[in-house]
Structure 1
């Protein structure tokens, strides 16, 4: 494979930052949190990630929250709530 574009320094530094801090060091904090609080309880925090991403993009990036985005987010919350309330009979 031949690359025809030169990498800029800001692109390279951005890639290294995401690779090292976000991915590598983030795993240590995440697994430490899982060990302290329990996988079943702390793992549920990951379910909030799409909603926090929507909120953060509106606050920090100035993204507009459309009716479609908010309605799908509400739909997901409703589906999860209904799923939690539904009783499932376990069969041996």
Structure 2
């Protein structure tokens, strides 16, 4: 998952139960590793950026929960915080609020 500004990329590691972060070189598109952070659960099936790109929400399929990992200034992920228990989550979709 690429951040809206194109500067950072995040990927889930199911066997390792973590999220990998990368910095994207704007001129070449090459990736530079920027850390691996535990996802806070088992089998990170899906990840999504919050609408303001301040955090990554991780759907942990086998531990039945959603976790939030805040995105730091340099694109580093902060440790996971559980935000909900959900039976076998596999996707996160943002719904626009009506006004």
TM-score normalised according to structure 1 size: 0.22
In terms of fraction of residues, the more strand-rich structure is: 2
In terms of fraction of residues, the more helix-rich structure is: 1
Quick one: higher RCO (CA 8 Å, sep 6+), 1 or 2? 2
TM-score normalised according to structure 2 size: 0.21
The structure number with the bigger radius of gyration is 1
